[in-house]
Amino acid sequence: MGVSSEMRVSLELARELKGLKQSEAAQKIGVSTDTLGNYERGKSYPDIPILRKIESVYGVPYDRLIFLSLDFGLTEKRTEKPERKSS
């Protein structure tokens, strides 16, 4: 997974953990919903001032957003597989 894929995943996860809809987050950050959607899909990337706003709104340090330090908790929930009971 490259930096672009990592940022895409971490932006969406951070927003979800904050309990924000994409439109709500975009408004708080000061970008359009389309722009935030493009960031989350990896079609474009936020510049440093926007990353700082995202950091403030999501409460996640920007380096974690960039380099996928996904200790948000949601990652584990998405990747855990149910344990099979042995008989």
Nearest-angstrom CA–CA distance, 41 and 35? 10
The pLDDT of residue 62: 80
Per residue in 30-75, pLDDT (tens digit) is 999 999 999 998 899 899 999 999 999 999 888 777 765 555 444 4
Number of structural domains found in the chain: 1
pTM: 0.70
What torsion do the CA atoms of 23, 77, 69, 2 make, to the nearest 10 degrees?
A: -80
| Residue 12, domain extent | 3-76
83 belongs to a structural domain:
no
11 belongs to a structural domain:
yes
Residue pair 60/66 in contact by the 8 Å Cβ criterion? no
The pLDDT of residue 34: 98
86 belongs to a structural domain:
no
